[in-house]
A and B are shown apart, each in its own frame.
Chain A
Amino acid sequence: MERLTPAETTVPHDRDGLPSVTPAAPGRWQIGTITRIVQETPRVKSFRIELPIWVPHLPGQHYDVRLTAPDGYQAQRSYSIASSPLDEGAIELTVDRLDDGEVSGYMHDVLVVGDRVEVRGPFAAYFVWRGESPTLLLGGGSGVVPLMCMLRHKRRAMPDAAMRLVYSVRRPDEVIYRDELGEETLLTYSRLSPPGWEGHSGRIDAELLAAAAVDPATGSVFVCGSNGFVETGAQLALDAGFPAERIRTERYGPTG
């Protein structure tokens, strides 16, 4: 995963209220059981998967999902964890159904509660929230998933930490976690706003970042979304005065 980054040396570890875990507790393949499926939007579902071997994750980490056909053919993809690590024993993966998505299509069209699915994780220890405050989260489309993990965990573990979410969706029917967006969230509709909408419309811009009011002198930024969204969001954060080493990005490529 050819990602660039500035060396990150100032992130505090093991803050109070956050799970004390090794940066990337490397998981073995295991068979989880689907215990709940939530249709978040027409093309996004969340899957709660109970795990026989559960370890606490850091908000922002991912699991790998592996499908195996009877002839041995396998397909794997990585999905961000949406649930707080305080939800012991299970993880929730929120999956965008891509048009040509081999794994996302299977998960959407085939999986039902009670099915078993092979997973391993949690993995990766860079795009993770370790309790930094204040924090600015910039999410585009399904890029909101790891950010919602951070937000959910903040609400439960560190309610006093300052965290703002700027969330860009194209249309009203694409808002994931609609009922969970609170006062910390600035939602913007980039293409089509719902009737009577008095909030933000259009793509994320400097004005919207300013409205989030996270101090660039002390704040950390997490940007997740499509390549174009991340380029824009990271540049806006730089322009607002956040130093590059406190801007972490994760891009959703054409995987599926």
Chain B
Amino acid sequence: MSDFISRAFGGRRRPPEGMEGRIPPGQYYEPGFPVLTAGPTPHVDTADWSFSIDGVVGSPRSWTWEEFNALPFEDVPCDIHCVTKWSKLDTSFRGVSLDTLLEGVEPLGAYTMAHCYGGYTTNVALEELTDGKAWVVTEHEGEPLPVEHGGPARLLVPHLYFWKSAKWLAGLRILDSDEPGFWESNGYHMHGDPWREERYWND
């Protein structure tokens, strides 16, 4: 941290009282839910939707929308942090834990690549997705996940910057080695921990 002080800057948008410890460095409190995408929004009909886990696994799996919705769902209250600097606190999603989805799949690699309708990809290490740390979600705050926020289904990895929570999720590929996804190939960090401010390549 530098010693530089901005002339006549007092700081006007501090987090609400009691929430200071929940805003990572360089982030600000945002009550809304901004939309960020790099290309046209893909519209995926649930009749055509499926989610798969494949790659380096003992037993690949795939679920249709109906099959997916028969899985045990969990409410996921969480805070989310976008690399564009906003953090949204006390939001909630509903979906299926990756622990549930990975049961019986026997992943043999330690890395994964999430891939999406529309072509987006993002890499997440397998250990970041297990032990109650990640979900595939289809609802946000009691409503079906809106398409601009990744509906029908998105990955949710709230402890990493939100670009890792891939929208319009189509599948998870288990990999032997860590490979960069879309933003990770375009200047953004391979890991993306907001508490360590891992925004860009050299952070």
Contacts and interface: CB of A to CB of B under 8 A. Distances in A.
A174 interface: no
**What are the 9 closest A-B residue pairs judged by CB atoms, nearest first?**
A24-B187, A253-B34, A5-B38, A3-B38, A6-B119, A102-B13, A73-B11, A234-B40, A26-B202
Interface residues of A, number: 55
B120 A3 contact: yes
Contacts of B150: 2
Nearest to B35: A227
A106 B11 CA distance: 9
A245 interface: yes
Interface string A21-65: 001101011010000000000000000000000000000000000
Contact of B84 (A66, A67, A78, A227): A78
B116 interface: yes
| SS class, residues of chain B in contact with chain A | loop
Interface stretch (B48-56, B67-75, B91-99, B157-165): B157-165
Given A1-B162, A4-B167, A5-B38, A102 B82 contact: no
B111 interface: no
Contact of A69 (B6, B38, B161): B6
Given A1-B163, A24-B201, A7 B119 contact: yes
Nearest to A71: B11
A212 B163 CA distance: 33
A74 B15 CA distance: 11
Interface of B: 2, 4-14, 25-28, 30, 32, 34-42, 82-86, 116, 118-121, 148, 150, 161-168, 182-183, 185-188, 199-203
Interface string A225-244: 00100010011011000001
A115 B9 CA distance: 12
B37 A4 contact: yes
Contacts, number: 175
Contact of B183 (A1, A238, A251): A1
A249 interface: yes
Interface of A: 1-7, 23-24, 26, 28-29, 31, 66-71, 73-78, 100, 102, 105-106, 110, 115-118, 123-127, 227, 231, 234-235, 237-238, 244-245, 247-251, 253-255
A204 to B, nearest CB: 15
Given A75-B13, A123-B187, A247-B40, A4 B163 contact: no
A77 to B, nearest CB: 6
Nearest to A31: B4
